[in-house]
Chains A and B, each alone.
Chain A
C-alpha cells in the first residue's frame, strides 16, 4: 500500500509558508543572525535563525505551538472537508512549551508564592500537551508524540506511514516544531557545539551548529483519501529506516555505522537500489564529527555518491522539527527537479574528500533524507515522485 504526501506546510526564519521557505533554500540564503529573541547571557551573542514573523492569529499561543499550528494549517489546506476522515496527529518536538516554563521557573525562584500557579504554568511543558492542543485545533481523532532529539521528525514520518498502512488512521498529519529557548542555547553552548561564526556544513573550517526554530508539516494519506484532496500528491513515502549507534551520548559513531544501517533499512523497505537515489538531503549540522561521519556512512552505502546538500545554514538546526521541515524542502526540490545549494559551504575538507552540490537542475525521482540525534539515534526516509 502506498502512503502519499498529500499536503505540506512550513514556517521558518526566512519564510512563512512552504514557498517562501523553499525560495530561501534554493537560493542558498544565509539565514543566521545574532540572537535577539532573548538574552542568552553568553559572552558572545550566538548566531541563530529566528522566526521574525508569526501570523497574527497564532500569536496568543506559546511559541512552539504557534509555529506548529501555522505549518499544520497550511498542510491541511489540501483537505478542507475532513469530518469523516480518521485523522491522526503526530508531533515531534524537543522543547514543547519550555520557552514559557523557563520564564515562569525564573519568576518562581524570585517569588516562591507563585507556587500556587505552578501546576497550570508547567502544564505546557510536556510535548503531549502541545500535541493535544494541535489535535483539538485540527479536528484530529487521536494524537501521539515522540521525542528522540534531532531524529524525531523522521521517526514520526515512519510512524505516520505505519499507522496508515495498518489502517489505524486514514490520514496522518505529521508536524515537527521547535522554538529557541534559553535552555537549548545554553545547553548546546555548554557542550561547546555552537560555531561562533555560524554553521558551515561540510566546510573545512566548520566548528559547530547554528540553532534555529521553525515548524514543518506533512499530510500523509492512503490512496483512497487522495480523491478528497484539492490537488495531486507531492510524493510517496517509499521507505523508512532507523538504528542506534551504541557509541556516545552526544557524538556520532566516527565511521557512521549506525547511520549506514538506517539508510540501508530505508532502501530495503523502498525496494530501491542506492544508484536510484538522485539527491541526499543530509543532516549536515556543521559539527566536525557529524559531517565527517555522515559522509563516511554514505560512502559505505553508495558506490558513487549522488548530489547532496545541507539546509542548516539557511533554516538553522531546528532540532526535532528539522527532519520534517527539511523533508518538506527536499520534496519541493524533487518537484522542482533542482538540487539545492548548501549555504555556508565554501572550502572542501580534504578529510571528507567531497563537496555538497551547487544549485543544479537534475532529474530527481527519489530523494533520501537523513537525521541523526543525540544518543546515536538515527533515522532515514526515502521520498519518491508519484510519476517518474
Chain B
C-alpha cells in the first residue's frame, strides 16, 4: 500500500449509542430504538418528502451522509463522488419485495430499492454529486476497501471530493448480528475551509501504535469517528487480503 493523504471535511455516524457529529454525541429520543428510527429533522434541516420512503439501509446511508454534509460549504459538484460499503447487501429489502410479489402486487418501488445503488442514487440526486460512485458489498475489509478506493480516486483526480459511507445493517435472519450502524466522512485531496482533520493510509503508522484489541470493521471505524468527534489523534491498524496498513488521524 502506498501512502495516501486525505482531508476530512465533515463526518457523522449513526450508532446504537446515538448520532455522532462535530457538535458531539446526541442520544436517541425515547421513542427511538436506534439508528433505524432516525428522523429526518435529526439529520437534514430542509423538508424531504422522500425520506419516509427509504428502506432501512438506504435511510442509514442517506442520514449518515446528509449529516456529514450538513455543515459543508459546497457539498455538490461535477467531481464529487460517493464510495460506499454495505457488507450485508440487500436481504431485508429483498424480503419486503418478495412479500409484495407473493401477495400478487409486486411493488416497483421496493424492487428498485433492492439494488444497493438506490442508496447512493438518493444522495447523489439530493446533493447533486456527479462524480464517480461505487458500492462495495463484500470481501475482505470492505469498509477499508471503500476508503482506499476513495483515496485512489482523489489521488488520480478521478474526483476532487468523495463522500465515504459504510452501512452495517442488522440481519433480518441472524438475530445475534451486529446492530444497525452507519458512518460517513467527506474527504478531499486538498484542505479547504471546512477541513477538520488529516487522514493518512499507509503501510507504516505515522506515530506510535497503541495496543489494539481485535475489533471488527464497524468498531474500528467507530473509533475513527469517535476520535474525529473528540478531536483526538488516532492510529489504527487494518488488515485484509493483499494489504496490511494503518489509518492515522491527525486534527487540524
Q: Which residues of A contact B (CB under 8 A)?
A: 86, 88, 94, 96, 98, 101-102, 105-106, 109, 118-119, 122, 125-129, 131-132, 141-149, 155, 159, 162-163, 166-169, 182-183, 186-191, 241-250, 258, 261-262, 265, 269, 373-377
Contacts and interface: CB of A to CB of B under 8 A. Distances in A.
Interface stretch (B7-15, B95-103, B219-227): B95-103
B178 to A, nearest CB: 15
Interface of B: 1-2, 78, 81-82, 87-91, 94-95, 97-98, 101-102, 106-108, 111-112, 114-118, 120-122, 124-125, 128-140, 142, 145, 149, 152, 156, 158, 173-174, 240-243
Contact of A128 (B121, B135, B137, B152): B137
Given A119-B174, A187-B111, A159 B106 contact: no
Nearest to A182: B101
Contacts of A143: 138-140, 241
Contact of B129 (A149, A155, A244): A244
9 contacts: A146-B134, A149-B115, A166-B2, A182-B101, A187-B111, A242-B133, A246-B128, A246-B129, A374-B118
Contacts of A189: 106
Contact of A126 (B88, B121, B122): B88
Contact of B78 (A106, A126, A149, A261): A261
Interface SS majority for chain B: mixed
Q: Which of B87, B95, B137 has the most CB of A within 10 A?
A: B137
B240 A122 contact: no
A147 B114 contact: no
A326 to B, nearest CB: 19
A266 to B, nearest CB: 10
Contact of A159 (B82, B137, B149): B149
A113 to B, nearest CB: 16
Given A105-B98, A168-B1, A376-B124, A242 B117 contact: no
Given A143-B241, A187-B97, A243-B131, A374 B121 contact: yes
A145 B106 contact: no
Q: Which of A144, A242, A374 has the most CB of B within 10 A?
A: A144
B139 A144 contact: yes
A249 B121 contact: yes
Given A163-B242, A187-B114, A243-B131, A144 B2 contact: no
B33 to A, nearest CB: 23
A186 to B, nearest CB: 5
A189 B136 CA distance: 27
B89 A183 contact: no
B107 A141 contact: no
A148 B133 contact: yes
A145 B1 CA distance: 20
B120 A191 contact: no
Contact of A187 (B106, B122, B139): B106
Nearest to A189: B106
A147 B137 contact: yes
In order of increasing CB-CB distance, the 9 nearest A-B pairs are A142-B241, A128-B138, A375-B121, A187-B111, A242-B132, A144-B139, A375-B117, A145-B138, A126-B89
Contacts of A127: 89, 137-138
Contact of B139 (A142, A148, A162, A186): A142
A145 B86 CA distance: 10
A174 to B, nearest CB: 13
B124 to A, nearest CB: 4
Contact of B125 (A122, A128, A147, A246): A246
A189 B108 CA distance: 9
Contact of B117 (A131, A186, A374): A374
Contacts of B121: 244, 249, 374-377
Contacts of B118: 249, 374-375
A243 B132 contact: yes
Contacts of B98: 102, 105-106, 183
A245 B78 CA distance: 10
B137 A250 contact: no
